[in-house]
Structure 1
Amino acid sequence: MTNNAAIVEISQTANQFRSSIVLQYDNKYIDVKSILGLFTTLVGGGQYELHVHGSDADEAKKAMGAVFEKHSLDVKIVAE
């Protein structure tokens, strides 16, 4: 089970950017800026994909990748 600190930090980091940041897991798409969405999706294990679109997408991808790595979450940042 992912800890609450990881979920809060992921959401807070995402909210610093204007870009759309969406986490894909199985067939679910979750807005990473939504803490509630993260609580129901980040259950640990599995491969997650992060889709980032917007004017500050490059910066957002770097920051989000660092947060996921810090909390030992396996995420693939998808290049659009």
Structure 2
Amino acid sequence: MSSEIQAIVDINQTAARFKSSIVLRINHIKFVDVKSILGLSITLYRSHDYKLEIHGPDETEARAAMLEVFKKHHLLVQLI
């Protein structure tokens, strides 16, 4: 499996573990639900300005896990 595909799968599977809403903001104009593997596969590597918005009952745990999975794949992300 290519590293790009592995990153998409890992990010998607990590997000799916949480009840919180996890949205990836790309270039300040596009919003992608990271629980949607299709949305991730279309947009993840076309930009390098990633921002995550996480809201919900388990957002503290989700924030930590999402930062970890992005770091694992050498993708810079900012929590907003």
**Same fold, TM exceeding 0.5?**
yes
Paired letter, 1:33:
K
Which deviates further from its counterpart, 57-66 or 45-54?
45-54
Deviation sequence 1:50-77 (CA, Å, 0-9, x none): 0000000000000000000000001001
Q: Structure 1 unaligned runs (5+)?
A: none
* Residue matched to 1:29: 31
* Identical-pair percentage: 51
Greater fraction helix: 2
Q: Separation in 1 of the partners of 2:14 and 2:46?
A: 19
TM-score normalised by length of structure 1: 0.91
Q: Does 1:6 align with 2:7?
A: yes
Q: Separation in 2 of the partners of 1:51 and 1:65?
A: 12
Instruction: Say how many residue pairs are matched.
Output: 77
Q: Moved runs in structure 1, 4+ residues, more than 2 A?
A: none
* Residue matched to 1:67: 69
Q: Separation in 2 of the partners of 1:47 and 1:17?
A: 23
